[in-house]
């Protein structure tokens, strides 16, 4: 039995999210269908490193699957990318790994980035791929406010009401807000995240950027541990699963 680790890039707009669901097409289902075209297993089980919501994208989602077929990593990559068409999904890397590797449970850190386009003109090429905000945002204040959320905290305020995580306590390793021209990026890294956590944080940070909230308001919202104190939930358009870290060796 061979186990293959996949690094996957996708445009999340056509999908209900990463995970296979009954209410629409998912990225997982599209990949499993493609893999089933060239492996002998009747049922293909693909394990992802984390879920993404409807409309959320990925540069570096990681998944693994097992097969009894004697096939190389290059052949796996080529076969998936051939059979996955015309879905906006691409397997950008494939690696054969030990069977004790698990895309989800072996992960030590997950990285996301949220992209905002901050300009008056409407979006053309990046419509659906970024959050368009017209008012000028104060990125320095947004970054300062974000630092209140770094470390181990109870993130109930920034947690979706239907989040299935056992605890609202998470450790945010870093949270940075940076500007490059009209583009603003919110970078976040942690071992794991709550449902809607980054979108909730980004939506509230934008209130700081417009001056509607102070940097201390962000701290107060966190300390309230109350979803009703959330400022705003950003749309899925600008959120990307960036990459996953695993133990070296």
The rounded distance, in Å, linking the Cα atoms of 241 and 70 is: 31
Which DSSP string corresponds to 186-249? EEEEES---TTHHHHHHHHHHHHHHTSS-HHHHHHHHHHT-GGG------GGGEEEEEEE----
- Position 108 confidence tier, pLDDT thresholds 50, 70, 90: very high
Average pLDDT on 13-26 reads 91
Q: Could you tell me which residue, 54 or 62, shows the higher pLDDT?
A: 62
CATH of domain 2-97: 3.30.70.580
Q: In angstroms, what CA-CA distances link 244 with 41, 104, 108, 112, 130?
A: 27, 10, 8, 9, 21
CA nearest neighbour of 227 among 147, 163, 172, 148: 163
The SS3 assignment for 182 reads coil
Q: Residue 230: what pLDDT?
A: 85
175-184 tens-digit pLDDT: 999 999 999 9
Q: b vs e for 40-74, b when ≥16 Cβ sit within 10 Å of the residue's Cβ?
A: eeeebebebbbbbbbbbbbbbbbbbbebeeeeebe
Average pLDDT on 77-104 reads 97
Average pLDDT on 24-51 reads 93
What CATH class does 109-245 carry?
alpha beta
CA angle 202, 137, 204 (to 5 degrees): 25
Q: Do 190 and 110 meet the contact criterion of CB atoms below 8 Å apart?
A: yes
Q: Given a cut of 90, is residue 97 above it in pLDDT?
A: yes
- Asked if domains 2-97 and 109-245 share a fold, the reply is yes
Q: Residue 75: what pLDDT?
A: 97
Q: Given a cut of 70, is residue 48 above it in pLDDT?
A: yes
Q: Do 186 and 205 meet the contact criterion of CB atoms below 8 Å apart?
A: yes
131-161 tens-digit pLDDT: 999 999 999 999 999 999 999 999 999 998 7
Q: Do 92 and 8 meet the contact criterion of CB atoms below 8 Å apart?
A: yes
Average pLDDT on 53-61 reads 95
Q: Please name every residue paired with 3 in a beta bridge, in sequence order, or none if there are none.
A: 66, 97
Phi-psi region of 44 (alpha: psi -120 to 50; beta: other; left: phi over 0): beta
81: which residues sit within 8 A by CB, 6+ positions away? 90, 91
The rounded distance, in Å, linking the Cα atoms of 97 and 64 is: 9
Q: Residue 249: what pLDDT?
A: 55
Mean pLDDT (the chain) is 94
Angle of helix 197-210 relative to helix 139-146, nearest 10 degrees, comes to 130
Q: Residue 232: what pLDDT?
A: 83
Domain ranges of the chain: 2-97, 109-245
Q: Could you tell me which residue, 101 or 249, shows the higher pLDDT?
A: 101
Question: Which residue numbers are catalytic?
Answer: 53
Which sign does the torsion angle of CA 74, 77, 81, 84 carry?
A: positive
Q: Residue 21: what pLDDT?
A: 84
**φ and ψ at 166, to 5 degrees?**
-70, -30
């Amino acid at each position: 039995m061979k186990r293959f680790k996949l690094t996957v890039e996708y445009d999340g707009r056509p999908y209900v999210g990463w995970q296979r669901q009954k209410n629409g097409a998912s990225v997982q289902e599209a990949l499993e269908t493609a893999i089933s075209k060239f492996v002998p297993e009747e049922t293909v089980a693909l394990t992802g490193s984390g879920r993404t919501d409807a409309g959320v994208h990925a540069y570096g989602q990681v998944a693994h699957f097992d097969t009894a077929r004697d096939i190389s990593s290059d052949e796996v990559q080529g076969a998936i990318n051939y059979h996955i068409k015309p879905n906006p999904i691409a397997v950008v890397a494939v690696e054969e790994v030990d069977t004790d590797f698990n895309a989800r449970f072996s992960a030590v850190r997950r990285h996301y980035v949220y992209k905002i386009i901050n300009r008056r003109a409407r979006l053309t090429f990046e419509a659906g791929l970024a959050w368009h905000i017209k008012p000028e945002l104060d990125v320095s204040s947004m970054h300062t406010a974000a630092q209140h959320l770094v470390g181990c905290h109870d993130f109930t305020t920034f947690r979706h009401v239907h989040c299935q995580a056992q605890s609202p306590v998470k450790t945010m390793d870093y949270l940075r807000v940076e500007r490059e021209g009209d583009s603003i990026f919110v970078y976040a890294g942690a071992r794991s995240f709550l449902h809607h956590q980054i979108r909730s944080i980004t939506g509230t940070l934008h209130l700081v950027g417009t001056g509607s909230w102070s940097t201390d308001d962000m701290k107060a919202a966190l300390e309230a541990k109350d979803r009703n104190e959330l400022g705003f939930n950003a749309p899925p358009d600008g959120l990307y699963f960036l990459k996953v870290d695993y133990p070296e060796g």
